[in-house]
């Protein structure tokens, strides 16, 4: 796989999402959790999406229960939580694993493109990957990095062709 556009993932509604549908968009892909200390980042992620979606940014959430069992609910429960508590309108995929043998292929690819500090593995919920319009990873952000802190990088990537 050469770009993110080569992948598909199941959406929360059970339908298959081809990432080729996001061609020429800037993507911010995030593994999320509903019961995590970082869960309030949903608010900042939604704010980024609202601010930049008309310029070509798509935020995509992938719920994951691999870290402290912080997203144990069903896809319907997770979706309802995100909508009710954070008014999330950006695309949310079905729950996945991001590490190990069961890792979703998109996460295996993302980690290979932009490794972590000590390991390529995802260390916790709300690890973020910023991808340019050609479907390539340009940056990886730690869970502690708040969405607002990456605005300048998003603006730079949106402005580049």
Q: Rounded to whole angstroms, how far apart are CA atoms 27 and 39? A: 20
Residue 119 confidence (pLDDT): 66
Phi-psi region of 56 (alpha: psi -120 to 50; beta: other; left: phi over 0): left
Q: Rounded to whole angstroms, how far apart are CA atoms 28 and 130? A: 5
pLDDT in tens, 91-129: 999 999 999 999 999 999 999 887 666 567 788 899 999
Domain 4-159, CATH: 3.40.30.10
Residue 94 has what DSSP assignment?
P
Structure tokens at 161: 């062709």
**Annotated catalytic residue, options 29, 33, 36, 110:** 36
Q: Rounded to whole angstroms, how far apart are CA atoms 81 and 64? A: 14
Q: Rounded to whole angstroms, how far apart are CA atoms 38 and 122? A: 15
| Cβ proximity of 46 and 88 under 8 Å | yes
Residue 105 confidence (pLDDT): 94
- Residue boundaries of the structural domains of the chain: 4-159
Contacting residues for 80 by C-beta, under 8 A, at least 6 apart? none
Long-range pairs of 76-84 with CB within 8 A, sequence gap ≥ 24: 76/12, 78/12, 78/34, 79/12, 81/34, 82/32, 82/34, 82/42
Question: pTM of whole model > 0.85?
Answer: yes
Residue 67 confidence (pLDDT): 87
Listed as ranges, residues in the chain with pLDDT below 50 are: none
Phi-psi region of 100 (alpha: psi -120 to 50; beta: other; left: phi over 0): left
Is 36 one of the catalytic residues?
Answer: yes
* CA-based nearest residue to 161, from 136, 122, 134: 134
């Amino acid at each position: 796989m050469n770009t993110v556009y080569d992948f598909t993932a199941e959406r929360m509604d059970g339908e298959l999402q081809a990432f080729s549908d996001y061609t020429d968009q800037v993507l911010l892909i995030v593994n999320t959790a509903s019961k995590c200390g970082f869960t309030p980042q949903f608010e900042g992620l939604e704010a980024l999406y609202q601010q930049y979606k008309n310029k070509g940014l798509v935020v995509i959430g992938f719920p994951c229960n691999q870290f402290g069992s912080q997203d144990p609910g069903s896809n319907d429960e997770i979706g309802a939580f995100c909508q009710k508590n954070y008014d999330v309108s950006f695309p949310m995929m079905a729950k996945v694993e991001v590490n190990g043998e069961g890792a979703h292929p998109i996460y295996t690819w993302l980690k290979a493109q932009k490794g972590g500090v000590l390991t390529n593995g995802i260390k916790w919920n709300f690890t973020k990957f910023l991808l340019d319009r050609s479907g390539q990873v340009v940056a990886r952000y730690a869970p502690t990095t708040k969405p607002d802190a990456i605005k300048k990088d998003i603006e730079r990537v949106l402005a580049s062709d």
